[in-house]
Structure 1
Amino acid sequence: MRISRIEIANHSRIRDLALEVRGHAVIVGANDVGKSSVLRLLNLVLGSTTGTLYQQLGISDLRDPTTDLAVEVTLIDFDDADRTLFTSEIDVNMADKSETLRLRMTVSPDPDDAQGVNVRRWFPDAGHQRAPSRDQLLRIGWRYLPANRNASSAALDGPNSALQTLLRAIELGTERSELADLLAGFNTKLEASTAIGELRANAASHLSKAMPRTVGKDDLSVRTASDPDEDVLGGVSMFFKVDDQHVPMTAQSDGLRQLVLMTLFDLAEGTANVVAIDEPELHLHPSSQRTVAELFSTAGNQKLLVTHSPYIVQRFEPADVIAVNRDGVCHQIPNERLSAVEKERINWWSPRLIEVLTARYVIVVEGLTDRVIVERAAELAGIALDRIGAVVFDIDGAHKFPHVYRLIGSAGFNVQLLGLVDEKEKAVWHGAIGGKPARVFGTTLFVSAPDLEAEVCAAFGGPAAAQGLIDGGYCKKEDILKSAGAAELGAVTAEAAAAYCRAGKVSAATALASQLDGATAANIASVNALLQRLVSLDSAS
């Protein structure tokens, strides 16, 4: 059994959504956009008692307090045991014989209590309004590890820890009696020990003084915590062996404790159908993040992850990724575009791209030269790109734009896109986006004519551009004069300065960016137009 669809409406933190869960689900986004709220709601629907629902849900969870909050989860892929337990709840499509199980939860404002709510949870296709039974919830097999977990001693090795769950599940067979005999023998030795007998006698004497009754030596026993007759592994733990020393799990680093906690949790929940983990990357080095993601992506059960980590996202298929933008809107690749996107995965499914998926706006530029100038111009214009959720994404070559657009454009993750392109490449970019030129150029695509080097040098003016290259450490005076065929800086033209810049694009752009001021930056026509469009979009949102 696994989740195939999630629908949420009227939640205070999440925009209304209807998501397909194709295999695993990896929800990625910036901070404070409601990612964790998705898992929290699923945990309430699939894994919580009725009492817990009322404890954790309130009127503040409703975006519109006059309308119901609704969460619906659709499950598929049943075995015979599932069909037996959900006899009337599983719906069978008569046309294609497909089976689905829908579980719905609504949170309604209480008409008699302004701050109260009424919570219902039921199977809409069952023909009855009964809430799911405890056995049915157990059969769904939902397990959840929240982001506020801690890798404490209790979590790693306590009675309810994943390690103890694994130990209790071990079938010892004939070894059980052998271990029980060893424990019993050890306890007998402890009982007969003279030194330990003295300890018991001293403890009994002191306890007798503090208690209303006399305590004798034989009233106390020193023995193993494990009962040989009941649970021979009850007091057993797991250690790392380092230089012939046994080091407890709890003595490891924060990152290693988190890694152990998640790994053992996943192993202990091997019989679970759906395992949800919020921020699996906590305290983990990127290499460990990749390792954990590989473990999760190849697991037999379904994983639902919420993450900020590009290294984790990269290990999953694009079809599994749900990107939440800064406005709380969820995007995933449409079914009909999956095959086209898959072709781009090898070259473009990288940590660099993952940041773009969570942005409100992406400014696509040809290369690092353009990125340096755009980011500096935005800074001088007082436009905080991070604050408004804009990312400048250089694609290392204008010809690569059609491939990138398949992933992040309207047919992919549908990120709001603005592009900066040189004049000779504009047809390639326009062809990828489509649409009438009048609706694309000046609103989505902005053209540097003939290229950005020319526009930047024109904004400075030839002599000032030459001086900027010198002051920015790109060249010596004699070098720019020789290249421009000029006797003095005042004779250097903007065209000559631009031609000189093209020989060392990134270094030249860095030098000129360091010499830009607000007035000069505002005169870089294509960049200024793009930034003004960005401000306009942000103001309208």
Structure 2
Amino acid sequence: MKVARISVENFRRVRAGTVALAAQSLLVGSNGVGKSTICEALDLTLGPERMFRRPVIDEYDFYGARYHVGEDGVLPQVRIEVVLTELSEAAQRHFHSKMRRWSVTRARFLDEEPPENSDTASSADTATAKAADLVAQADAKDAVWALPVLFLGRYDPEEDDFVGGTFFAHPSRPLEDLDEEERSKLGAGLKSFTRKDKQWCRFLYLRPNRIGSRALSFQRGSLLDTIVRLESQQAGPLWETALGRLRETVITDEASGFSSIRGQVRKRLDRFLNLVDGPDAVDLGVSELTREHLRDVLRLFIASQPGMHGVPFGRLSTGSLNLLVFALLTYIADLQGEQAVIFAMEEPEIALSPHAQRRLVDYVTEKMGQVIVTSHSPYVIEKFDHQQIVVLDRGTDGHLTGTALTLPADYKVKKYLTNRRQFAEAVLARAVLVVEGATEASLLPIVAAILHDDPSVAYRHLDLAGISIFNAGNDVSVPLYAPVFATLGKPVFGIHDTPNDEFDEELQTKTTQFTCYEVIPFIGVEDLLVNEVAIAAQRRFLSTVKGRTDYPGECGAPADEFDEAIRAHVRKLLKARKGSYDGYAALLITACANAAELPQTLVDFLIRIDTALRSSATTPDSETVQTGVDDDGA
């Protein structure tokens, strides 16, 4: 079973939005955009233990924290619909009357009206076009059975409390067939999607703030609770067995000092309270001997090297806790056997080294039926194919969208694979700056830093603006990336030197998709630097590098102290030491004392980028509307 689509209305910072999910989906986007909201929405709808939490939802789970009756006289309602596909034969038999036919390629139900902008709709005869579209869908070979399920939540004024429930979204009884009391109930006309039904979904959700606490406790919905439940299906009632053994535990035997305490307590109680006969009238127990209390007090003990004795898991290091979580995930996957798991995981990179992040992602994508991951780590992102990456965005109106990372038809996948790490960083960014080589990639952040620190210039550093620099490799390749990143809805900027040959019409067309585009008026960036960097900065640069161990011996010293000789010598050094790691271009920029000494072409270009981003629409990161809860920390 897999989640094919999730639609959210009036939940947290999302007024409305629909996101399609693949078998393996990586959700990326800026902080607060809605990644955690999607995971929490899935948990509300599919999590077998989620409804035990009280209250199920609260004030801040409503969009804008508005939950009272509005001006329209209607109570706001949280609505989350999840469409499940790839049901097993057993699941199809269990849910047979609750399913609908689903078009995989169109990502909608066959009896669902197509969107208004459907390419099958005709402005001349919309009704006929829609009918033809439904017939075409009915005949579609990719039609499968799907199970739509629904979470609804709202405020109950009579009880002064919040209520929530999960339901089958299909079929529904017409409201006119219901009496007044039934119509007033949450989910009127719908059948409940019970905890037992949810267990068919086998949904697991790992929040980052669970690691080391709830995830490793025995609380309902934790990893260990999931393991206990799965083991109980094979080994019998584990909780009952544990409670029986605890009842047999004797603390107050004759050899214990507690025996005297017990006797004294009984002796004094006998004066005021009628106790039963026998020594057990007063006793000591290791807990309240109930399931819920045992969940609270039971702890996993771990003995790791170089220690010699076990300690409660909470005393382990953060890294050890994460590895323990990883081990429990492998346990759950093995217990499920052939039964596929829907696994949602937020930010697996927390407190894990890069190689551990990669191992974790490799394991869950191999073992789990469907994996839905949120991440800010390029080490995690690079493990997913571009078709599996969903970029989330949310406008100031609260509308959430999910866009798959699609490559233009003329863009070779090999290029993506070669630049996978750069792509990983770019999809996390608010905007992308495409440059032609390593030299530009290394020096532009330094130009930005000097501009940012100069009080005479109103400028915000690239990092603060959320701009990722992408090295295209050469000037001809720079325009290729304009449509790639523009497709994701990101502002994309491009800069390169004057090419040896004029771009053909196709490349010129691609450059029009840059938000800001600059062609350096020199054939090489080195020529730009020696012509536009202040001569005083160039002299300081030569004084600094002449004692370096990597100073190219063949370059010698300047011919004389005149400005032209200095520029010629700097050009020679820059050509001899190109690149990002041992390049001298960045060192030359570092020698600039302020914005006035920087190359003006680069200064003007960076200020144009900053102006463009400042004038763009407000991003979710800067929204002040809404709730008092940060989306990613909820």
- Name the TM-score class by shorter chain: 0.7 to 0.9
Give the whole-Å Cα distance in 2 for the aligned partners of 1:284 and 1:169.
27
Q: Which of the residues 238, 246, 261 maps onto 1:203?
A: 261
Of 33, 55, 62, which residue of structure 2 is paired with 1:58?
62
TM-score, normalised to structure 1's length?
A: 0.77
Q: Deviations over 1:402-453 (max 9, x none)?
A: 78668x5345x4532212212127867x87865176x468933443522222
Shift of 1:295: 1.5
Choose the corresponding residue for 1:142, options 203, 207, 222: 203
What is the match of residue 148 of structure 2? 102
- Whether contact under 8 Å (1:75, 1:101) holds in the other structure is yes
What is the distance in 1 between the residues matched to 2:363 and 2:46? 24
* Aligned twin of 2:560: 487
* 1:464 correspondence with 2:522: no
How far apart in 2 are the matches of 1:226 and 1:107?
Answer: 34
Change (3 A) 1:257 1:493: closer
Shift of 1:321: 1.8
Q: What is the distance in 2 between the residues matched to 1:520 and 1:475? A: 27
Please say if residues 256 and 284 of structure 1, whose CA atoms lie closer than 8 Å, have aligned partners that are also in contact.
no
Match of 1:389 in 2: 466
Give the AA of the match of 2:62. G
2:310 maps to 1:247: yes
Change (3 A) 1:221 1:119: closer
Q: How big is the shift at 1:150?
A: 4.5
**Alignment partner, residue 355 of structure 2:** 287
Which segments of 5 or more consecutive residues in structure 1 lack a partner in the other structure?
A: 228-233
Return the letter of the residue paired with 2:27. Answer: I
| Contact persistence 1:30–1:326 (CA under 8 A) | no
- For residue 435 of structure 1, the aligned residue among 488, 509, 531 is 509
Check conservation: 1:14, 1:329, Cα contact below 8 A: no
Q: Identify the residue that residue 231 of structure 1 maps to in structure 2.
A: none
- TM-superposition CA deviations, 1:226-278 (whole Å, max 9, x none): 99xxxxxx989564464794524514212212332354256337356322122
SS in 1 for 2:470: strand
Give the match for residue 230 of structure 1: none
Return the offset for 1:3. Answer: 0.6
The SS at the match of 1:88 is: helix
1:81 aligns with 2:158: no
Bigger helix share: 1
> Higher relative contact order at CA 8 Å, sep ≥6: structure 1 or structure 2?
2
The offset of 1:6, in angstroms, is 2.5
Map of 1:442-457 to 2, 5 A cutoff? 443-457=516-530
1:167-186 correspondence to structure 2 within 5 Å: 167=228, 169-170=230-231
- Measured after TM superposition, the shift of residue 208 of structure 1 is 2.7
Q: CA deviation at 1:517?
A: 4.1
1:9, distance to aligned residue in structure 2 (A): 5.1
Q: Equivalences for 1:87-236 in 2 at 5 Å?
A: 87-92=96-101, 93=110, 94-95=138-139, 96=141, 97-104=143-150, 123-128=168-173, 129-134=189-194, 135-152=196-213, 155-158=215-218, 160=220, 162-163=223-224, 165-167=226-228, 169-170=230-231, 197-208=255-266, 211=269, 212=272
Deviations 1:2-42 (A, max 9, x none): 11123345656348543321212221234333321221222
Find the residue that maps to 1:201 and give its secondary structure: helix
How far is the alpha carbon of 1:396 from its aligned partner? 5.1
Aligned to 2:328: 264
Q: Is the 8 A contact 2:99 2:147 kept in 1?
A: yes
Q: State how far apart, in whole Å, the 2-side matches of 1:168 and 1:125 are.
A: 29
- Matched to 2:208, the amino acid is A
What TM-score does the superposition give when structure 2 sets the normalisation length?
0.67
2:491 is matched with which residue: 407, 413, 416? Answer: 416
8 Å CA contact 1:481–1:488 kept in 2: the answer is no
The AA in structure 2 aligned to 1:435 is T
Distance 2:96 2:83 in 1: 16
Rounded Cα–Cα distance in structure 2 between residues aligned with 1:206 and 1:20: 68
1:504 corresponds in structure 2 to: 577
Aligned length: 517
Which is worse superposed, 440-449 or 417-426?
A: 440-449
Instruction: Tell me how far apart the structure 1 counterparts of residues 234 and 92 of structure 2 sit (CA, whole Å).
Output: 33
- Aligned partners of 2:552 and 2:349: how far apart in 1? 50
Aligned to 2:444, which of 371, 374, 377? 374
Secondary structure, aligned partner of 1:276: strand
Contact 2:526 2:574 in 1 (8 A): yes
Separation in 1 of the partners of 2:87 and 2:372?
19
2:149–2:193 CA contact under 8 A, matched in 1: no
Question: 1:473 aligned to 2:545?
Answer: yes
Q: Is the 8 A contact 1:319 1:338 kept in 2?
A: no
Classify 1:256/1:217 alpha carbon distance in 2 versus 1 (closer, same or farther; 3 Å): same
Shift of 1:142: 2.6
Q: Secondary structure at the match of 1:409?
A: helix
How far did 1:46 drift? 3.0
For 1:486 and 1:277, the matched residues in 2 are separated by 63
Q: Which residue of 2 aligns with 1:26?
A: 26
Contact map agreement 2:416 2:423 (CA 8 A) in 1: no
Separation (CA, whole Å) in 1 of partners of 2:485 and 2:192: 41
Letter of the structure 1 residue corresponding to residue 20 of structure 2? E
C-alpha separation between the residues in 2 aligned to 1:28 and 1:384?
23
**Hey, what's the Cα distance between the residues in 2 that align with 1:157 and 1:125?**
36
Q: Kindly tell me: are residues 244 and 508 of structure 1, through their superposed partners in 2, closer, same or farther at Cα, counting changes over 3 Å?
A: closer
Cα contact 2:33–2:394 (8 A) shared by 1: yes
Q: How far off is 1:501 after superposition?
A: 1.8
Deviations 1:439-492 (A, max 9, x none): 46893344352222212221135x43541322443579x999977874323342
Change (3 A) 1:162 1:373: closer
Distance 1:200 1:91, change over 3 A: same
Q: Report SS of the residue matched to 1:435.
A: helix
Give, in angstroms, the shift of residue 515 of structure 1.
Answer: 2.1
Are the structure 2 counterparts of residues 470 and 268 from structure 1 closer, same or farther at C-alpha, using a change threshold of 3 Å?
same
Render the CA deviation track for 1:504-523: whole Å, top value 9, x for unaligned.
Answer: 13542132212224443564
Judge conservation of contact 2:491–2:514 (CA < 8 Å) in 1: no
Deviations 1:300-354 (Å, cap 9, x if unpaired)?
Answer: 32121222222222223222222346967643223x759966434542222x432
| Coordinate RMSD, CA, aligned | 4.8
* Separation in 1, partners of 2:415, 2:610: 28
Shift in CA distance, 132/275, structure 1 to aligned 2, threshold 3 Å: farther
Q: Alignment partner of 1:140: what SS?
A: coil
Structure 1 residues 194 and 16: alpha-carbon distance in aligned structure 2, compared to 1, 3 A threshold: closer
Measured in 2, the distance between the counterparts of 1:530 and 1:77 equals 49
CA distance in 2, matches of 1:434, 1:342: 22
Secondary structure of the 1:304 match is strand
Report the Cα offset of residue 159 of structure 1.
6.3
TM-aligned CA deviation for residue 77 of structure 1: 0.6
Residue 424 of structure 2 aligns with which residue? 354
The answer to whether the 8 A contact 2:201-2:341 is kept is yes
Distance 1:338 1:24, change over 3 A: farther
* In structure 2, C-alpha distance between the alignment counterparts of 1:482 and 1:239, rounded to whole Å: 62
Identity of aligned residues (%): 19
User: What secondary structure does 1:75 align onto?
Assistant: strand
Determine helix, strand or coil for the equivalent of 2:98: coil
Q: Distance in 1 between matches of 2:595 and 2:307?
A: 68
Task: Check conservation: 1:369, 1:510, Cα contact below 8 A.
Answer: yes
Q: Does 1:304 align with 2:379?
A: no
